[in-house]
Amino acid sequence: MDSQPKLKILFTKEEIEAAVKRLAAEIKEDYQSKYPLLIGVLKGSFMFMADLIRQLDFPLEVEFIRASSYGRGRESSGKIKVVQSLRSPVKGRDVLVIEDIVDTGLTTGFLLDYLRKKKPASLKLCALTDKPSRRQAPVTIDYLGFTVPNKFLVGYGLDLDEKFRNLPDICFLEEGS
């Protein structure tokens, strides 16, 4: 039996690059004089963050935060906690959270609440992908790359049991795989 899941490309690296450039232009417009604090949500956002900030030619700071929500496999446990917090103070900063994907919205919603309590001057969300069909908690995405169908995505930082993060394209797992 073939245990390798079958992958199909949803967005090529060229399409991702174009989306990242578009998002960077929008973010630059709003943040270029604000010295923002960009907070990437680990691990999935690391590649997006790296590509995005290379397109942002103005002063900014980078932080990462890590929440545990998804265990192994494809389903969220629904129980979320911060497992790696921030070193830079958030109070008074213009904070932009960088997410790989907003799925149920539970993780992002939890993290935005967590950060809001630290009293930033402003708090916005940039997500590379949005899977609105699965939403359980309302989340406003201020800067969005792609709306995606209800499929399990891998690549460009997104994993299945820690595999496939290194794929340059965003792919989905074919039904039954």
Contact residues for Mg ion, defined by CB under 5 A? 41, 44, 100
Q: DSSP state, 132?
A: G
C-alpha 94/C-alpha 122 separation (Å) is 5
**Residue 120 touches ligand 5GP, criterion: CB under 6 A:** no
Q: Stretches 13-21, 26-34, 87-95, 103-111: which one binds ligand 5GP (CB under 6 A)?
A: 103-111
Residue 60 sits in the site that holds ligand 5GP (CB under 6 A): no
- Selected catalytic residue, list 103, 142, 161, 169: 103
Checking DSSP bridges between strand 94-102 and strand 76-84, what pairing results, if any? unpaired
Give the one residue of 153, 167, 170, 171 binding ligand 5GP; rule: CB under 6 A: 153
Minimum distance between the CB of residue 26 and ligand 5GP, rounded to whole angstroms?
21
100 binds ligand 5GP (CB under 6 A): yes
3-state secondary structure of 176: coil
> Is 57 designated active site?
no
Whole-number Å distance between alpha carbons of 58 and 10: 31
Q: CB-based burial of residue 151 (10 Å sphere; 0-12 exposed, 13-18 middle, 19+ buried)?
A: middle
Least Cβ distance, residue 115 to ligand 5GP (angstroms): 15
158 belongs to the binding site for ligand 5GP (CB under 6 A): yes
The angle at the Cα of 35, spanning 63 to 101, to the nearest 5 degrees, equals 45
Least distance between ligand 5GP and beta carbon 29 (Å): 26
Burial of residue 115 (CB within 10 Å: 0-12, 13-18, 19+) is buried
Residue from 15, 142, 159, 169 binding ligand 5GP (CB under 6 A): 159
CA proximity to 52, closest of 162, 126, 147, 142: 126
Q: Does 98 bind ligand 5GP (CB under 6 A)?
A: no
Catalytic residues: 103
By CB under 6 A, name the binding residues for ligand 5GP: 44, 69-70, 76, 100-108, 152-154, 158-160
